[in-house]
Structure 1
Amino acid sequence: MDDIARLAEVLEQSRSMVFFGGAGMSTESGIPDFRSAEGIYHQKLHRHFSPEEMVSHSFFVEHTEDFYDFYREHLLYPKAQPNDGHRTLAELERMGKLTAVITQNVDGLHQLAGSKNVLELHGSVKRNFCMDCQAAYEMEHVAAGKGVPRCTRCGGIVKPDVVLYEEPLDSQVMEKAVQAIRSADTLLIGGTSLVVYPAAGLIKYFQGQNLVLINKSETKADEWADLVIHDAIGKVLKAAMDMLAARS
């Protein structure tokens, strides 16, 4: 049995699957990942600061205008659309097989594809708020124009609802993620290098039957997985789903 057929069998048998994904989930939607050889952290985008430093809390505070210049150019992709991977996960949820999507991404593509129970560990570019009066703003308010986006009510800085480096993850979201993984019979991990903590540590809570890893490159968890596929996740999930549909 080849890997796609094995994955289709896992999808067919699962009743409480959880998906945990990272930047590689959205590369097939035209959003570059962060840590691959071509990823954003390997690009020389600024003379004095690394991309990782430019999405830190301290850089946001000390170089606010430069932060927004970088943010608009490299983290906002308003025209991006869900790919086969996002759509397959949404269909698995509709079928009653997938109970939760846990994502490190901030692009909102899982919801756009139709997924309902999405736990966003690092927040979302779709949500923005005034740091002074807490007024809410759409992504377009930040994407449009130049310089530091301001609140139309009080003039405060409008900040994206994303978790920057040096900022803590939302404890309630993390707790929901832990509970979802503890209750899962299958943990499907895709498009993540599993190097960003504390998110990467979630795998230790899995107690189910099937640990499946789909990623273009190797990860430190490959040796623990029941099934490892090194390929594009959208392509793999669609192929397995098509095989599953053909059986029914």
Structure 2
Amino acid sequence: MNTATLHKVAQHMAQAERVLFITGAGMSADSGLPTYRGIGGLYNGRLTAHHIPIEVALSGQMLLTSPEVTWQYLYEIEQACRGASYNRGHEIIKEIQEYIPDTWILTQNIDGFHRQVGCEKLIEIHGRLYDLFCTYCDYKVTVENYLHLHIPPKCPKCGHLVRPDVVLFGEMLPSSALSVLTKQLTKGFDMVFSIGTTSVFPYISAPVQMARQQKRITVEINPSTTEVSHLVDYRLVGGATDMLTQLWQQMNDNGL
């Protein structure tokens, strides 16, 4: 089933001038990172060691009241990312950006892999795990890992709490990233891909819904059924790297 679908998607891509890739945890699964709600999920429907949902542990409110709890799970997530790097799927999206220059990426991932591989026109809507800042003064630092951090870390300048530049549950999305996303969505896209995300957040499913309303091509790459599966024109059932590799091969083999 995927072969015929891949060929059709490749044909559409050959004609597209503006493409949006929306990527979630499944995009980095082939780098050895666990997903969070999907297959192989790190917190797939289970409570944390503190007997609270991960959404509570990783919330802005918890960071304020019990920063040691939030930081314990930030450390656990960073530990899962530690030493990992981008995979072939990230490379292919970078190559597609070179083939279709007006290709944008909206990622929920905080691992920084799209940036690491050299992708441009990148909206990291949830921030980056390794960019830290003080909650009180202007101290900022980018670290390679959390190995040498005291948990929870304190600012070397003022002694207040340091946190990663990521969006925790219950917090507002960064206005700068939202502004860029809104501007690009207003321009519209010829194709929108949803890759490796359950699309439970409205701002992640909205671009797919908008493209559908505008009668633009929508594609989902995911091994599981998600919140947007019933909306898309084409579903490629499988892992991100495998499906992107096959799609890119289709385009190259057929001279599209």
Shared fold (TM-score greater than 0.5)?
yes
Counterpart of 1:237 (choices 213, 228, 244) is 244
CA deviation after TM superposition for structure 1 residue 89, in Å:
0.7
RMSD (Å) for aligned C-alpha atoms: 1.9
Deviation string, structure 1 residues 29-72 (Cα, Å, up to 9, x no partner) = 11111112531222443143222211111111121112212211
In the alignment, structure 1 residue 78 sits paired with structure 2 residue 85 = no
Deviations 1:92-131 (A, max 9, x none): 1112345210011111010111101110111111311111
Equivalents in 1 of 2:246, 2:11: separation in Å? 12
Matched, 1:196 2:201: yes
Bigger Cα displacement from structure 2, 8-17 vs 104-113: 8-17
| Cα contact 2:19–2:192 (8 A) shared by 1 | yes
How many residue pairs were aligned?
Answer: 248
Higher alpha-carbon deviation: 58-67 or 104-113: 58-67
Normalising by structure 2, report the TM-score. Answer: 0.89
Matched ranges for 1:162-201 at <5 A: 162-182=166-186, 183-201=188-206
Q: 1:29 aligns with which of 25, 28, 31?
A: 31
Distance 1:158 1:227 in 2: 43
TM normalised by structure 1 equals: 0.91
Structure 1 residue ranges without an equivalent (≥5): none
**Structure 2 stretches lacking a partner, 5+ long:** none
State the Cα distance separating 1:13 from its structure 2 match: 1.8
Aligned partner letter, 2:38: S
2:64 equivalent among 37, 44, 61: 61
Q: Cα 1:174–1:139, aligned 2, differ >3 Å: closer, same or farther?
A: same
Amino acid paired to 1:135: Y
Using the TM superposition, name which of 104-113 and 189-198 deviates more.
189-198
Percent identity over paired residues:
26
Query: Structure 1's 197 and 223: CA in aligned 2 closer, same or farther, altered over 3 A?
Result: closer
